[in-house]
Structures are given as structure tokens and as C-alpha cells.
Amino acid sequence: MTGIATAVDIALNSLVLGGVFLIVAIGLNIIYGLSRVMNLAHGSLFAIGAYTGYTLVASGLNFFVALLITPIIAGFVGLILERMIIAPMRKRSMIYTLILTYGLMFFLDGMIKQTWGNEPRFIELPIFMGETLSILGTHYPVFRLVTLAITAVVMIALMLFLNKTRLGIILRAASTIPEMVSCLGFNMNYVHIGAFVLGSALAGVAGIIAGPLTTIDPLMGHEMLISSFVVIVIGGLGSLRGAVYAAILIGVVQTLAEFFITDLAMVIVYMMMAVILAFRPLGLLGEGKFE
């Protein structure tokens, strides 16, 4: 491979990886920003999305149809979790929901092992996605380009939802001054539910997108939880723009690190996080909305 081809390869891989991080991280961020719950079970929703995608495709459904159904199922799981487990704890301090969602993560992982077993699974892709495309000398897998396109569509749809719909405007307002949103007549309980459903749906869709990129195993959610946490910490809690920059940054760093020094990839990412936080404790674009 030529130098240019390698560079293109790395650049595209960075974007693909960063895109998946971004969708999961934004889901985590939406839940935190709107309901002040740091959902440690978020990675498990990502895994549930991947397994759901696997089951749907394995049962004969088209990949793109599965892509539409998976977030609905993940959102529904989020709804049940919020109503049955998170909501009763909402009045307590954040440490309670932190411990609670930590336990929930193990519970969900156990359920995944019960349902799908320990052996890795693979999502079978439509034939055309198995081809490669020649871009500037590199033969790039089509499914990775499709992944990139899906990520872009999800992000654009999310932006349109948040900026153009009434529900989106309510969510944006509630992420800043929830009390005033109540005073305007909106029940914040529904905002909390909406945040969990939307955040879980995003984790789920990221799961099926990531499915073909990696092997699906019961622990895939843990690594993703940590990566997405790193994204919102570096980007700044509550900042959407910060998350975009951070996700791409981590995508690039991790891809580069994997290319040159495979085993130390995550170490480099954490070192980068430490350095960024040393200089900007609230993250790149953090607004300091900690409580």
C-alpha cells in the first residue's frame, strides 16, 4: 500500500470508529443532561442493540429493516428501566443512581449471557456490503462506508429532532433550566422518560451499526461504556459540539495507536484524557454544569 492509501485507510477508520463512539456518547450525555443520572448500564444497551440486530438479521430480516427496529426495541428497554428502576430513586442523591445503574449493568450482562450465550456472534451483511471500493489506492470495505453514512444520517436526524421539533425544543430547554420547564406546564417526569428512551435508542442503533465492525460478545458494552464516558468527559459534560470533536479525536487516536502499537491503544487514549483534563478540567467545551 502507498502512503496515501494508508492515510486514507486510517482517516476513514477513525471516522467510522469515532462515529460509533459519538452516537453512544451522545445517548449517555442526553440521559445525564436531562435526568442527572450517569447511566453505567448504557454500555449494556449498546450490547443489547448489537445482539438484537444479530437476532433480527439471523432470523432472515434485511439488515436495513433491522436497523430501524433495533433502536425501537432498545428504546423500549430504556423505558422499562427508567420506569421500574431509575424513577423510584430519582429523589435521592446521584450516588444512589450511580450504584444502581452499576448493578443494572451486571444484571443486563447476565441476561445477555443467558439469552445469547458466551460465544461471539457475527451479523451477516447484505452481499453488496461485503465488497470493497477503491478509494485513492486503498480497497475500502463497503460496509464501513455504509456505517459511516448511517452514522451521518443518525446525527442529522438527531439534530433536526432537537432543533426543529417541539419535543426537541422542550428537551433542550430542560437540559438548561428544568425548573422553568415545569413552570411552563411540562411534566418533567415525561422529560426524564423521553431522555432514557432517546438515549437508549441511540445506544441500540450504535450497537447494530458496530455489530459488523467487531465481534459481538457479552462484554462489548463495558469497553464502549468507558470509551463513551471518555468522549463526554473530554468533550465536556452537556456539550454536544464538544462530544463531536472528542469522538473524532478519540477515533483518530485509537485508530493510529492500533496501527502502530496495538496493545497500548487504550492507554494512549487515557493518557490523552488525563492531559486534556489537567488543562481543561471541564473538558474541551464543558459548560461546568456539574451538580
Partner 1 sequence: MEKTPRVLEVEDLHTYYGESYVIQGLSLFVEAHEAVSILGRNGVGKTTTLRSVMGLTPPRSGKVTIAGEDTTGWPAHRISGLGVAYVPAERHIFPGLSVEENLKLAARPGKNSNPWTLERVYEHFPVLADRTSQDGATLSGGEQQMLAIGRALISNPDIVILDEPSQGLSPLLVDTVTEIVQNFCVKSGITLLVVEQNYRMALKVASRHYLMSTKGKIAGVATTRELMDDQQIIQDHLAV
Q: How many residues bind partner 1 (CB under 8 A)?
A: 17
The CA distance from 63 to 243, in Å, is 28
Q: Residues with Cβ < 8 Å from 195, sequence gap 6 or more?
A: 30, 31, 33, 34, 35, 171
**Considering the complex, what minimum distance in angstroms separates the CB of residue 166 from partner 1?**
8
The CA distance from 247 to 101, in Å, is 23
Interaction mask 97-126, partner 1, x per CB under 8 A? ------------------------------
Closer Cβ to partner 1, 222 or 289, answer by number:
289
**Considering the complex, what minimum distance in angstroms separates the CB of residue 94 from partner 1?**
18
151 and 22 in contact (C-beta within 8 Å)? yes
Q: If binding is defined by CB under 8 A, does position 179 make contact with partner 1?
A: yes
3-state secondary structure of 271: helix
**Considering the complex, what minimum distance in angstroms separates the CB of residue 189 from partner 1?**
9
Kindly calculate the radius of gyration of the chain based on its CA atoms and give it in whole angstroms.
Answer: 19
Number of Cβ within 10 Å of residue 96's Cβ equals: 14
Cell numbers at residue 55, please? 437476532
The CA distance from 243 to 285, in Å, is 8
Between residue 141 and residue 170, which ones bind partner 1 under the rule CB under 8 A? 166, 169-170
Of 98, 176, 261, 270, which lies in the binding site for partner 1, with binding defined by CB under 8 A?
176
**Considering the complex, what minimum distance in angstroms separates the CB of residue 197 from partner 1?**
19
The CA distance from 231 to 272, in Å, is 11
Closer Cβ to partner 1, 166 or 278, answer by number:
166
Of 177, 261, 264, 267, which lies in the binding site for partner 1, with binding defined by CB under 8 A?
177
The CA distance from 116 to 56, in Å, is 13
Closer Cβ to partner 1, 76 or 186, answer by number:
186
**Considering the complex, what minimum distance in angstroms separates the CB of residue 188 from partner 1?**
7
**Considering the complex, what minimum distance in angstroms separates the CB of residue 186 from partner 1?**
6
162 and 48 in contact (C-beta within 8 Å)? no
Closer Cβ to partner 1, 5 or 162, answer by number:
162
The CA distance from 143 to 54, in Å, is 15
3-state secondary structure of 29: helix
**Considering the complex, what minimum distance in angstroms separates the CB of residue 53 from partner 1?**
34
3-state secondary structure of 102: helix
Between residue 181 and residue 220, which ones bind partner 1 under the rule CB under 8 A? 181-188
Closer Cβ to partner 1, 172 or 280, answer by number:
172
Of 10, 89, 155, 173, which lies in the binding site for partner 1, with binding defined by CB under 8 A?
173
**Considering the complex, what minimum distance in angstroms separates the CB of residue 62 from partner 1?**
38
Cell numbers at residue 88, please? 423510584
Q: Which stretch binds partner 1 (CB under 8 A): 110-118, 152-160, 175-183, 221-229?
A: 175-183
The CA distance from 90 to 39, in Å, is 12
- What residues make contact with partner 1 under the rule CB under 8 A? 166, 169-170, 172-173, 176-177, 179-188
